[in-house]
């Protein structure tokens, strides 16, 4: 096995033109993406978009029909399997195993000696408020706890690259928050994390880069900030007056919600508009310019239909 760190591109994952067909379903249709080493990267898309199939090709679990993948500098991801941690979408540990043993077992599958895995398993559980569960069998744990144990099992061999398929689903709000902290701490120590999600909030809060995927295609891959810049910033204006000549100065696409007016930042800037509003006695109470959210960017890039299938509720309501 070559030394994975000999790669000079600065990329943990590079994928070009990946295609995968299952019978008459074109699951992935020419996906390109680049994941920087040490970054957190999200694959964001609705159900059936092709997220899992893309991740499975990156992992080398399935081979693409066409295209190129390079993972930690290697064309065959199997060559670097021991440097990768993977949480599959379908969860499952042996129900009779104790939690710390399950973690050690997962480590052993990636080359970590069992004794060391057991020691680290206990330590990881301790560090994640699950020390009390170390000697309990998986079947005695709640679903959420078992999922965290499985997640710790993907990390026990200290992988360079962590691939998590829908890691937040099945966790309550508290554990989702803990998982966000864990993902950030992995990136802080240089680990690359790539995860799939259909929840915009997680991608928006965590990721430096994202691929937006819908219908097997990736209409956008790059920095979250660049996705948001695809649509103009929004102005939020609050007025005391609701009628008056000043209203003529508002852009055509203005939406009104009570005393608030929302419209895209005019290309000419805010100053000329502000003057017209003041001269027309709009009674400005507040004015703010807000950068577009990732949801609006997603709609602009992937379309209403794909966005409708995403979860956009606040994190606290997302199961
Ligand atoms: N092994 C398979 N055999 C046949 N069709 C498959 C197989 N795996 C995936 N597909 C199909 O490929 C498409 C993409 O599926 P994939 O699981 O990659 O999507 P996804 O974005 O991960 O969705 P979800 O969030 O629902 O898991 C779907 O239409 C799915 O039915």
DSSP string, 164-177: EESTTTT--HHHHH
pLDDT, one tens digit per residue, over 205-261 is 999 999 999 989 999 999 998 998 888 888 999 999 888 889 999 998 899 998 999
Cβ partners under 8 Å of residue 237, min gap 6 = 260, 261, 262, 263, 277, 282, 284, 286, 287
- Rounded distance from Cα 27 to ligand 1 centre (Å): 6
pLDDT tens across 285-302, in order?
Answer: 999 998 888 888 888 888
Per-residue model confidence as pLDDT tens digits over 17-65: 999 999 989 999 999 999 999 999 999 998 889 999 999 999 999 999 9
| Ligand 1 atom closest to the CA of 52, numbered from 1 | 22
Closest CA to 117 of 130, 125, 127, 107: 107
pLDDT band at 105 (very low <50, low <70, confident <90, very high): very high
ipTM (interface predicted TM): 0.96
Question: CB-side exposure of 19: number of CA atoms within 13 Å?
Answer: 9
**CA-to-CA distance for 276 and 178, rounded, in angstroms?**
49
Residue 6 has pLDDT above 60, yes or no: no
- Which among 21, 47, 49 is the best mutation to test ligand 1's pocket, defined by most ligand atoms within 8 Å of the CB? 49
* 293 in Cβ contact with 224 (< 8 Å): no
pTM of the model: 0.85
> What is the tens place of the pLDDT at every residue in 154-181?
999 999 999 999 999 989 998 999 999 9
Q: CATH 3.40.50.300 region(s) of the chain?
A: 7-224
Nearest CA to ligand 1 atom 18: 50
Q: Domain 7-224, what fold?
A: Rossmann fold (3.40.50)
- Among protein residues, the one with the nearest Cα to ligand 1's atom 26 is 47
């Amino acid at each position: 096995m070559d030394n994975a760190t000999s790669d000079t591109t600065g990329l943990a994952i590079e994928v070009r033109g990946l295609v995968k067909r299952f019978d008459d379903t074109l699951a992935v249709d020419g996906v390109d993406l680049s994941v920087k080493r040490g970054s957190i990267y999200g694959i964001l898309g609705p159900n059936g978009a092709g997220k899992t199939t893309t991740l499975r090709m990156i992992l080398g679990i399935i081979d693409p029909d066409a295209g190129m993948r390079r993972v930690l500098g290697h064309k065959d991801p199997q060559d670097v399997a021991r440097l990768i941690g993977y949480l599959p979408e379908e969860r499952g540990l042996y129900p009779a195993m104790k939690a710390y043993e399950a973690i050690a077992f997962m480590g052993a599958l990636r080359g970590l000696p069992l004794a060391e895995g057991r020691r680290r398993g206990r330590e990881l559980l301790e560090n994640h408020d699950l020390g009390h569960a170390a000697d309990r069998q998986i079947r005695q744990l709640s679903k959420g706890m078992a999922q965290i144990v499985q997640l710790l099992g993907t990390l026990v061999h200290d992988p360079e690259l962590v691939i998590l398929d829908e890691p937040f689903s099945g966790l309550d709000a508290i554990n989702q928050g803990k998982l966000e902290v864990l993902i950030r701490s992995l990136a802080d120590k240089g680990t690359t994390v790539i995860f799939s999600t259909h929840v915009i909030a997680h991608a928006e809060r965590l990721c430096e880069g994202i691929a937006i995927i819908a219908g097997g295609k990736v209409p956008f891959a790059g920095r979250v900030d660049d996705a948001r810049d695809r649509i103009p910033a929004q102005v939020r204006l609050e007025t005391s007056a609701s009628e008056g000549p000043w209203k003529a100065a508002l852009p055509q696409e203005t939406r009104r919600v009570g005393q608030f007016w929302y419209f895209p930042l005019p290309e000419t800037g805010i100053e000329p508009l502000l003057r017209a509003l003041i001269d027309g006695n709009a009674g400005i109470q507040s004015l703010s310019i807000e950068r577009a959210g990732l949801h609006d960017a997603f709609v602009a890039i992937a379309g209403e239909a794909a966005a409708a299938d995403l979860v956009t509720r606040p994190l606290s309501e997302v199961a």
